[in-house]
A and B are shown apart, each in its own frame.
Chain A
Amino acid sequence: MTQTVDIDKLLNDLSQQLRSHLSDNDIKAPLMIGIHSGGVWVAERLHQLLQLKDPLGHLDISFYRDDFSRIGMNPQVKPSHLPFSVDDRHIILVDDVLYTGRTIRAALNEIFDYGRPASVSLAVLIDRGRRELPIEANFSGLKMDLARGENIKLQGPKPLSLLIANKACK
């Protein structure tokens, strides 16, 4: 089942929230980092809408996951690329879907291996609830409560669309 969600509208909402956050806190030059792969697609759009000057950073958190002993190595891992120093900078971390919070935990650990940022805030397109860690998004385009068996996935990069489906029972 696919659900029609106006993704452009969500992205506009999200960029509005970010714009007021940046002006309220007098942050002139934030750095944006997208989490591979859906988070990068969302971050590319936000980066453009906010007309940020610094290049976009890419993070693949595979080497920081907490389930290596369960799933092993994924050879499709992409290199992380942060084309700037994160020291003393305000970071906007972007992902497509916030669920358990484990990906964000891994991303935070990885960012701190690059340096000590002034702050990190989290922007997500969809917050689907059911957290397993004390992690929340500062900004989200849409909140929805999906059961554990349900699956939501951002497809892209062009055009972006949301796929919501019930996982087939094993």
Chain B
Amino acid sequence: MIRRNIQLNQQGRLRHFLTIEGLKRQTLVDILDTAESLSGVTDQTVKKVPLLRGKTIVNLFFEASTRTRTTFELAAKRLSADVLNLNIAASATKKGETLLDTLHNLQAMHCDMFVVRHADSGAAHFIANHVAPHVSVVNAGDGSHAHPTQAMLDMFTIRRVKGDFYPLKVAIVGDVMHSRVARSQIHALTTLGVTEVRVIGPKTLMPKGVEALGVHVYHDLDEGLKDVDVIIMLRLQNERMEGELLPSAHEYFQLYGLTQERLDKAKPDAIVMHPGPINRGVEIESSIADGPRSVILQQVTHGIAVRMAVMSTCLGSHADGGAA
């Protein structure tokens, strides 16, 4: 059997959006450009366009999320699609069965797109492998694997502020090992061709062999932040603080928390990003999160336009070519 990139259809168009890995630079740039145009929809009195009228999009969330689900829902509604929100508590033991059953039931209701969040890595791929040909799947976060729309809204935010990717040095700080956001960001940044990607964090939270992704590893925050243009802080999951990988939240902040003093090591016009929700006083000082260099709320706003772009691109891939 010939293995193609499952994300692309026969014509090479983006049908599913599961991971940044393996996508071409032009595909990412097209999504960013489309998002730029779609961001103008909020200037309209009627804040929607009729692009996906008649399509049904299901937010299939097996894991809790407020911001991501809300922005996916708003994005779908601004494209005039109908939206169904399903929050399903996942049964770990019967995972495969549960997923497939749910899927077949929803397909029987003639849904066109599944936006999937799941605690298990690979869940969105699994679903994409089993959906009907007219259905698209968007990954809204799977385990510690990928969160591609988050990475794209981060890229959109960086491009809006900095203009060009090529000259940039970007630092990703925190729990890189468990972060699906970090993994997707690394793939997006290297594909879009920034000068340097640095990952900064304690040895216990740094995945082995991460250098193979084309990043430079730092364990000292002050050293790693030197002369960077963009600082991306990762959320420290509460369960990590209780586990054995870290001594305490307080000590973590001492070593890896972003303070004004540390921010001063970066370039004077460096921006601070965070995928949210923020642990104030754990990975970032409150005054920085709310300060002039922070673009954290812009990231949230941009999430809507970027998700609109991803949804319309994927659903547009089913176009029949215009046999008029």
Contacts and interface: CB of A to CB of B under 8 A. Distances in A.
Interface of A: 60, 62-64, 67-73, 75-82, 109-110, 112-115
Contacts of A60: 37
B312 interface: yes
A79 B317 contact: no
A75 B30 contact: yes
Contacts of B41: 63
Contacts of B52: 68
24 contacts: A63-B41, A63-B50, A63-B51, A64-B50, A64-B51, A67-B322, A70-B319, A70-B320, A70-B323, A71-B322, A72-B13, A72-B316, A72-B317, A72-B319, A73-B313, A75-B31, A75-B34, A77-B34, A79-B39, A79-B40, A113-B44, A113-B45, A113-B49, A114-B45
Given A63-B50, A76-B33, A113-B46, A68 B38 contact: no
A73 B34 contact: yes
B320 A69 contact: yes
Given A63-B50, A73-B312, A75-B34, A80 B40 contact: yes
Given A79-B37, A115-B45, A68 B30 contact: no
A75 B324 CA distance: 23
Contact of A64 (B37, B38, B40, B49): B49
A109 B44 CA distance: 12
B226 to A, nearest CB: 37
A100 B252 CA distance: 65
B243 interface: no
Given A64-B49, A70-B320, 17 more contacts: A63-B50, A68-B51, A68-B312, A69-B320, A70-B323, A71-B316, A71-B319, A72-B313, A72-B319, A73-B316, A75-B30, A79-B39, A80-B37, A80-B40, A113-B49, A114-B44, A114-B45
Dominant secondary structure at the A interface: loop
A36 to B, nearest CB: 10
Contacts of A113: 44-46, 48-49
B162 interface: no
B37 A77 contact: yes
Contacts of B40: 79-81
Contacts of B43: 82, 114
Interface of B: 13, 29-31, 33-34, 36-41, 43-46, 48-52, 312-313, 316-324
Contacts of B39: 79
A163 to B, nearest CB: 22
A151 to B, nearest CB: 16
| A-B interface, 4 closest residue pairs, ranked by CB to CB distance from nearest | A72-B316, A75-B30, A72-B319, A73-B316
A78 B38 CA distance: 9
Contacts of A67: 322
- In this complex, the member of B31, B48, B52, B316 whose beta carbon has the largest number of chain A beta carbons within 10 angstroms is B316
A63 B44 contact: no
Nearest to A83: B43
B169 to A, nearest CB: 28
Contacts of B312: 68, 73
A82 B34 CA distance: 18
Contacts of A77: 33-34, 37
Nearest to A109: B50
A146 to B, nearest CB: 18
A65 to B, nearest CB: 8
A112 B44 CA distance: 9
A115 to B, nearest CB: 5
A76 B316 CA distance: 14
Contacts of A110: 49
A113 B50 CA distance: 10
A71 B33 CA distance: 18
Given A63-B50, A114-B44, A69 B34 contact: no
A121 to B, nearest CB: 21
- In this complex, the member of A60, A64, A69, A72 whose beta carbon has the largest number of chain B beta carbons within 10 angstroms is A72
Nearest to A80: B40
B116 to A, nearest CB: 21
B13 A63 contact: no
A78 B34 CA distance: 8
A80 B38 CA distance: 9
A74 B37 CA distance: 11
Contact of A63 (B38, B313, B322): B38
